[in-house]
């Protein structure tokens, strides 16, 4: 168990194309840690010209941004470096070079301050991110809960029994939901990242205009498949000819979004029903999608369950979720794998199921 009464955690996220830094303060015991400050720099504009993330550019930009963002959150929280008790950084999964920047900064800062650096699993950060939106009183999010994790790289349903105790119930056998949004958006001429753009365009479209496939909807298990959707989008797009109208583009966006949302909703609600759990957490970038939030909210309430989300701005990658994961781990004495010296490594491929097995 923690030996001191409070712990101020600096969180660093650099697994992909967002540099995120945040400060979270935890008290020993059960009380939910509190977000003190957070700062984020998105590299989306830099990668847009290439239609996707360029790993080398991502690493270089993380190097440029990390220390200024760290200074910014310390200033915003009116703290100094000496107030930091623990540094939590994203150890994986993600782009190797990008991860190394965050890990290097975290471990070097920890060594200079005489504080430990803890390598956090990126998906654990997403899973625990709704604790950043903790409402007061009896409405607190508590374990166990079912989680729908929908990001650019992952689509998973999990039972979250406790911090560090995750059971995978089902996942995508090919593309992630975010990838389906991004690739479809690219096909119909929207920028990168396409998810938010496709969702915006869909607002003026008819979701029934095109019959899009809903793969594995009736498979009886909790797995997903989205790779076929982009072929369907490409086929419809081609049929529209060289100069589709704005309405046709919006209709295709709305029909594509409806297919993704239908499958995610049906599987998440089915998992909720099967598990008997009464709490659903929706995390990861696609969790920002409004129709998905609405459908899950309505469906869960019919099952007598409640849905928890991170604050909208913290659905996509950020340092606050990494700091929160570090703080919740500190409260429970789960700091295995933290490094008090200069040794560190990253795990670009790191299955969440191996989290407990890491030294
Ligand atoms: O969690 P995240 O920031 O990064 C990963 O860990 O992958 O998720 C990014 C993904 C991207 O695919 C992006 O297009 C998608 O989340 N996304 C959305 C929305 N906002 C972000 N997809 C659909 N609707 C949105 N509003
Ligand atoms: Zn993520």
Q: Is residue 239 part of a domain?
A: yes
pLDDT classification of 182: cutoffs 50, 70, 90: very high
Q: Is residue 44 part of a domain?
A: yes
Report, as an integer, the average pLDDT of 100-125.
96
Give me 273's structure tokens.
Answer: 């029903």
φ and ψ at 4, to 5 degrees?
-105, 170
Instruction: Note the pLDDT of residue 341.
Output: 64
72 and 142 within one domain: no
Nearest-atom number in ligand 1 for the CA of 126 is 1
Residue 241 CA to ligand 2 center (angstroms) comes to 36
**CA separation for the pair 119, 129 (Å, rounded):** 16
105 and 78 within one domain: yes
Q: Is residue 320 part of a domain?
A: yes
Partnered with residue 308 across adjacent β-strands are 281
Q: Ligand 1 pocket test: pick from 41, 154, 181 the residue with the most ligand atoms within 8 Å of its Cβ.
A: 181
Instruction: Answer yes or no: is pLDDT of 214 > 80.
Output: yes
Nearest to 111, CA basis, from 336, 338, 342? 342
Give the total number of structural domains in the chain.
2
Instruction: Note the pLDDT of residue 51.
Output: 84
Structural domain including 300 reads 137-309
Provide the 10 A C-beta neighbour count for residue 53.
18
Q: Which protein residue has the closest C-alpha to ligand 1 atom 14?
A: 195
178 and 258 within one domain: yes
**Residues 255-287: tens digit of each pLDDT:** 999 999 999 999 999 999 999 999 999 999 999
- Does an H or E element contain 248, and which? helix 246-275
199 and 53 within one domain: no
Provide the 10 A C-beta neighbour count for residue 167.
13
Q: Is residue 114 part of a domain?
A: yes
- Average per-residue pLDDT for the chain: 94
User: DSSP per residue over 174-232, as a string?
Assistant: SS-HHHHHHHHHHHTT--SSHHHHHHHHHTTS-TTSS----TTTTSSSS-B--HHHHHH
16 and 78 within one domain: yes
Are 279 and 308 a contacting pair, CB within 8 Å?
yes
DSSP 97: H
188 and 121 within one domain: no
Q: Is residue 252 part of a domain?
A: yes
Instruction: Answer yes or no: is pLDDT of 357 > 50.
Output: no
Nearest to 193, CA basis, from 157, 155, 153? 153
> Model-level pTM?
0.94
Q: Is residue 1 part of a domain?
A: no
pLDDT classification of 218: cutoffs 50, 70, 90: very high
29 and 12 within one domain: yes
CATH of the domain at 173: 3.30.420.40
Q: Ligand 1 pocket test: pick from 316, 322, 325 the residue with the most ligand atoms within 8 Å of its Cβ.
A: 316
pLDDT classification of 23: cutoffs 50, 70, 90: very high
Q: Which protein residue has the closest C-alpha to ligand 1 atom 21?
A: 285
Q: Is residue 87 part of a domain?
A: yes
Instruction: Note the pLDDT of residue 193.
Output: 82
**CA separation for the pair 217, 113 (Å, rounded):** 52
pLDDT classification of 134: cutoffs 50, 70, 90: low
247 and 109 within one domain: no
In short, whether 286's Cβ falls inside 6 Å of ligand 1 is yes
207 and 77 within one domain: no
In short, whether 284's Cβ falls inside 6 Å of ligand 1 is yes
Q: Is residue 359 part of a domain?
A: no
């Amino acid at each position: 168990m923690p030996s001191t009464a409070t712990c101020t955690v600096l969180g660093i996220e650099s697994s992909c194309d967002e540099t995120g830094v945040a400060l979270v303060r935890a008290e020993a015991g059960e009380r939910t840690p509190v977000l003190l400050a957070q700062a984020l720099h998105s590299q989306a504009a830099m990668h847009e010209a290439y239609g996707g993330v360029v790993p080398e550019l991502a690493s270089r930009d993380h190097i440029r941004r990390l220390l200024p963002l760290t200074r910014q959150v310390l200033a915003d929280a009116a703290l100094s470096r000496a107030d930091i008790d623990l540094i939590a950084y994203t150890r994986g999964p993600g782009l190797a070079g990008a991860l190394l920047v965050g890990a290097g900064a975290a471990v070097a800062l920890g060594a200079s301050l005489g504080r430990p650096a803890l390598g956090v699993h990126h998906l654990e950060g997403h899973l625990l991110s709704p604790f950043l939106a903790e409402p007061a009183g009896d409405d607190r999010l508590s374990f166990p809960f079912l989680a729908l994790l929908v990001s650019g790289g992952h689509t998973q349903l999990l039972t979250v029994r406790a911090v560090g105790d995750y059971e995978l119930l089902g996942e995508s056998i090919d593309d992630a939901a975010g990838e389906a949004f991004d690739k479809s958006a690219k096909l119909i001429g929207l920028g990168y990242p396409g998810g938010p753009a496709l969702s915006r365009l869909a607002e003026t479209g008819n979701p029934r205009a095109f019959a899009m496939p809903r793969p594995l909807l009736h498979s009886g298990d909790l797995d997903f498949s989205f790779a076929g959707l982009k072929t369907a989008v490409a086929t419809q797009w081609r049929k529209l000819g060289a100069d589709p109208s704005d309405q046709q583009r919006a209709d295709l966006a709305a029909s594509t979004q409806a297919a993704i949302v239908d499958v995610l909703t049906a599987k998440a609600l089915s998992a909720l029903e099967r598990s008997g759990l009464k709490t659903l957490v929706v995390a990861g970038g696609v969790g920002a999608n409004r129709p998905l939030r609405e459908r899950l909210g309505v469906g869960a309430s019919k099952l007598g369950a409640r849905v928890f989300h991170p604050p909208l701005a913290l659905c996509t990658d950020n340092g606050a979720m990494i700091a929160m994961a570090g703080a919740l781990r500190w409260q429970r004495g789960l700091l295995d794998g933290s490094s008090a010296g200069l040794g560190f490594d990253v795990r670009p491929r790191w299955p969440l199921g191996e989290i407990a097995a890491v030294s």
